[in-house]
Each structure stands twice: as structure tokens, then as C-alpha cells.
Structure 1
């Protein structure tokens, strides 16, 4: 399982995946031509571009010696809309050889990263795991794989459907990392540079949900019980699933929203223990709870509220990037009642209104705010 290959074999087989590139210059192919490892030894790279088509791709495949058989010591998955930094492959292969790593992660410039993932890429690390680092959160950055290790463990040599976006290859990345002898991180430099999209991405929530569901199946089968399995569940339910219920959820058709809620509910019921579920951030747990109960309309209202009053995210609607406010507004009576009406069923609100203790509680709340309720608010609090 050395991965050394035969004399004269390429160092890296680059698998070009994703939708066919548009006519004209291809950022991905141009970046391959500029790779330092290839400029030093033209035979160091092999390109497989199944499913991408196009004259430019065909010419580049011929240039890189595509024989429709993976021959490189390492595999690297490159999306058709991405481009590589000039020394990316040389640095990644050098670290893999030096550390004896079967998987190497490289940072993508401009990728959405929580603070702990940014910390992961601050310096080069020759060995990381799911329990001692933010490896799970950086799985889309796992692109270089030792071919011999994949073959030894019976993982598909190509690993991805040719039309698949590498960002959704979570099951493959999880299994490769769990089975590897060592996972390394190349820090301090950007390896991938995301190309500017020619058009807004279509919503891909259901694809992401399917990828996450398959990754959880792999994790349940291969992760060590205890800390490792818990770390992967924390990533899935504390990060990946809540990301599906952010403002871009509102751009989906209502039927797709309902399907997504049903899928979220199945994953929570199947894989998330009650204690871990209760330990999630309240904001995320509230969204997940509405989704698992199929309350898509209430979820839409909650997402709008969270976006407007304190969730620092942006979303794209009809090709326009719309920022949302990040500073929480003062929680006055009208705002609280708006959220209350959106989340609590009308029949429950009616039962509460009949109780003197509830009316007293509401009056004390208004007194604390330093103002009395309006007539409409008063009806919502006290009307039978």
C-alpha cells in the first residue's frame, strides 16, 4: 500500500468533475496547465474528464495523456468551476509523501468557514482526526487521495459520479478519512481558488441532504463509538443540517421545502440521540424542531425573523446578492408577538388566553418593557 506506482506513472490523476464547462477558456484547465509539478515533468499529471465534454476539455485530455485508466499515485478531484493555485498539487503531493498521509486537505480561498475551520488551516499538520480538530467541517477541502489506499479498502477508484460537485462528495470523503492511516492538512496557503460563477447556482438543498444522509450511514458503520462518532454527529446536526434551513431555504418551492423538512426529520430521528439534540444551539434546535414536525410555514417565518434580527448570513434571490442585517433589534412587544404567532398554533394560544395566570404574566412582561400593549396586542394576549 505504498502508492509509489510504476516508473513513469503520473504523480497525480486529476479527475475533472461537475457540469460541462461553457465554451471558451476553462479556469480549471488553464490552472492545470500552469501547475509547477507539470511544468517540471509533463508526465506528472494525468487528466480524466469523463462526462464533461467540450473541445477544450478533449484537447487538454489528449495533452495530459488520458488513457481512461487511473494511473497516478494520487487522485485529485477538481470541479469544472474551480482553479488550482500554481504550486497546489506539488505542495499537496509533497506533504502526502513526507507525512505518509492517505488524505490531504488543502484550503479553498473564499470558502465559507467557521472560525475553528479557519484555525485548522493556519499551519500545516501532518496528522489530524475528527476528535482533535475541525476535520469534519473541512471535508469538502479533502481532495488529494492516495490511490493505493482507496484500492486497498475497496473504495471506488474514481469515488465520484463524473457529474457530481466535489462539495457534495461527503460519503466518499468521510469513508476515506475514517479508513486512512493518516490525514494531513496543508496550511498557510490557498490551494483552490473558486472561479466566479457565471450564473447563480440553483438551489441544491436536496442533493446536500442526500449526501449528508449517506455520510451518516458511513459514519455509523466505521466511526469509533464514543468521541469520534459523537464528533461526526455534532458536525452533521450542529452545522450541516442547520445550514439547509437558512434564508436560501426560502428560495425553494413549497413542495421542495416540505420534502426537505421530512428528510431532516428522518435524519434527526434516526441518528441524533436526545441528549445531543438538546445540547445543540437553541437557534439551530428550534429550526430543526420545526422541520422535523413538518411545520414549513412556521419555519419560513422563523428564518425571516432570525435573518432580520441577528443571523449574519447573506442569500441570493433572482441573481441578486442580498445582505441581511447582523445587529439584533430591540425585542419589543410587537416583534415578540410576531414570532409568537408564527410559532405557536392558534388553538394553543386560545387555551392560554383563558387562563388568568397567563394574562398576568403578559401584563408583567409589558410592564417590564415599560409600555402597555396596543389594542391589537391586548386582544392577542387576553381575547377569548
Structure 2
């Protein structure tokens, strides 16, 4: 019977264990935490958006998009849904975002654990891996109390994001020990820190906007629309999370980064000016904040006016054409200069990891070491918000486990 060792009991590791066991392999999964699926428990604010009906390739960020496309065709979103339904998960569809009907991430983590046990997988929790080797055709996984041996080894160790769940980046070290390279891991799906001194005044404010990331030499890299959340450190919210990985890469190479917010994307600058001038004419001798009343939260209106150089005491009928131009300019391009992404502790995933070019094919087998497989966040693939990182975990984990467990 083929022996398969798996390091990491997260989403991809559990899926790999089940897939390998289904092939008839004897599977041992090593997990440093006291339980498997720890990171799964906090996914989607504890509700676990485990995949998404919209499977456009653009939602998966990688230097090898065709590899990702081929992998997803071999274990798709539909396969994922059928897999979990078979395990007893009833699926709830929220505008294409798929969740367990229980609304609890624990449901996903627990059915995976139970299925792994049913398939005969040995779950060795509280087991930290210190070293990995390959000697005389056998993989050796060294822990404090034992050295495990296997015919195949799957690295499903996760990234450096959310280290409180145990994912501290050990997998990068293990992969490098087998001759793999690692694209520098950086925080992704996280907030962005800005240098503007008025960030503190906006703390807690939320508003809908279109966010555009601009990097040197001044071209727009990414746009996303949705609810922006302002924080003392800068910007947060799903649109900001979506563009954070691009900001991280630009800043890594010493480039400058700006995020401009169009606070009124549904109107052109000309339309907006007409609307606001009509409103100013209607309300008469009132302050500038009254012109913006009903459009933005009060704290945001105050900062917009200050950035536009318009005194709060100045009546709207006293505004010159330059005042109007500055006001409209601020609303359409409310700019923040980004200094860094928030840390790994606040990041949901990482951008970076082992390049897909170093895998043999969609079996997820290493092109450098026969019998070695890599999956999940350890690879240089990061998804957008919306269940895409978990879909990559299910896909890559299943394909790795299926191939590793096969006797062929």
C-alpha cells in the first residue's frame, strides 16, 4: 500500500488527504495545531464562503493563468459543490457566493475532518514538522518525537498570512530545501496604510466608491467598486482588499502607490457639478457641509471641504468657480498615498509562493523532486475575495492528493 504524508491540515491538506485515501493510499496528515481546519474556522467572518459561481479566470492572480485554468477544469466549482453536498453540507447561494446553509465555517471544517477519518486518514495533530528529506526514494518528515516515512509527500503548509492560525511560512522553507524557488510572499486581501494626516478624522466612516490603484509612472493598475471603510491607518473594505496585492508588489519594487476614490461614480464631474450647484441654489445662505448633506457622512464631508480648501464658514453662494472645481475634483479623485500594506497578521492570504512553472503539470507534482506535491496557498496563486482562495485550495488539494495516492 502506498504511503502518503501530508504536512498541513488546512483546506488544501484535508482535501488532499481525502483524495489520496480514496485512491487506496495509507495517509498520514501532520498538523501543528491541536485541531485541523483552524484557519477555515475564521474564513468569511466565520461563515465560510467556500466557493463562487462566477469562475472567471481574472479572479485568480498568477503568473501562469493557463495552468490555473486547466487545474480548475479538472476539479471545478461544480465538483466542489457536489463534494460537499455528498458530505452532507446544504449549500446557500447569496448572489453567487456559496456558503454552508448552517452559516458556520465549523460545518465545513468538521465534515472534512470526519470524512478524512472515515477514509482511514491518520490525523497527527499537535505535531510540528522540523525537517523534511528524501533518502533512498523515501520521504522523511522529522518531528520532535518521530520521523515519518512515505512514498509521496504533499506540502499543504499554507502561507504566512494569519499566523495566529499556525501558518507561519514553514512550507516555503521545506519547498526550498527540495530545490524550489519562492516568489517573495507579501500580504494580500488586507488594508492599506496611507500617509494622509486626516485619516484619523475619517475613522469608522463607510461609503460606496470606486477605488483605483495608481502606481508609477502614473497608470491605473486596478479598479474595484464597493463599500470603502476608512480607518486611522488608511483604507479598508473589500474593494481595497481586492487591489492590495497589486499595491504590495508595486511597493516591494520601490514604486509609489496611490489610491484614488471616486466618491460619486454614478455621475460624471459635469453632472455632479450641476447637481450640487442646483442644490446650493435651492438651500440658499447655508454652509458648504449642507451642500453635501445627504450625499456623504458628515465627517467625510468635512474632510472633502478641507481638502478642497473651502472654509466651513464660507456660504455656498460665496463660492468662486475655483471652489467648485476643487470640490468636484476632491469628490471624483479623493486621493491617498499608500505607504504599505497591513501586516501578515491582518492579511487573509499572501501573494507569492512557489511558482507554478516549477510543477510538472496539474497533478501538482514537483518538476524537481518526483513524488513531492505542493498545493494551496503555498503556491504562487492568490484569489480575489469571494471564495476563490478556498476554491484554489479544494482544486489543488484534490489534484495533489489524487495523484499522490495513485499507484500509477
| TM-score (norm: length of structure 1) | 0.28
Give the number of the structure whose residues are more often helix, by fraction. 1
More strand by share: 2
* TM-score of the aligned structures, taking structure 2 as reference length: 0.27
| Larger RCO (CA under 8 A, 6+ residues apart) | 2
